[in-house]
Amino acid sequence: MAYKKEDIYDEPVTDALTQHYKQVIEQLGEDPEREGLMKTPERVAKAMQVLTQGYHMDAHEIINSAKFHEDVSEMIIVKDIELYSLCEHHMLPFFGRAHVAYIPNGWITGLSKIARVVDVYSHRLQVQERLTVQIMNAIKETLNPLGVAVVIEAKHLCMMMRGVQKQNSETTTSAFDGEFQKNSTRSEFLKLISARLS
């Protein structure tokens, strides 16, 4: 996503978060006035605003900004969409890829808008299960397609760095609506997103 800095950062929010992160550093036993940490609270405050900017974006508006009437009814797939999000339980990152498909019912949207929808919901405090359904619902509610499918594959640092510390685990979630609830359509979608060009 390409945004100007002034569109992301809110100065009062930055100032308040900076003070809180300074206190966090102190509580952890570090000196926030140490040279390497002096600007860290502000950097983290700005980073958190970037990572949660999805709260200020509207997925439906994004899709509607490039909504076109088209008389096609074949499956449209955008796969391997990179995503980065924050687990709402530990505020540690999870990251991976999303595969999104829909079958038009008179309306299509720009392909980049599908990736933007993934960004809108992933740039919030999230759980992967809800993220998957939110992406599906946004497409369903704006395009009224014959069917929508979303699969997300992600690695969670809350599992890799702490807790069970399973570095090789990956979580897959899926949501299917309409025609994708049929075994044949769902199987075609899953086969296509699994295919790799040789």
| Active-site amino acid positions | 87-90, 128, 156, 158
* Annotated binding-site members for Zn(2+): 87, 90, 158
User: What b/e string do you get for 98-114 counting C-beta neighbours within 10 Å, with b at 16 or more?
Assistant: bbbbbbbeebbbeeebb
Question: In the numeric block, which tokens belong to residue 19?
Answer: 């003070």
66/153 Cα distance (integer angstroms):
27
Other CB atoms closer than 10 Å to residue 29's CB: what's the count?
Answer: 6
As to burial, measured by CB atoms within 10 angstroms (0-12 exposed, 13-18 middle, 19+ buried), residue 93 is: middle
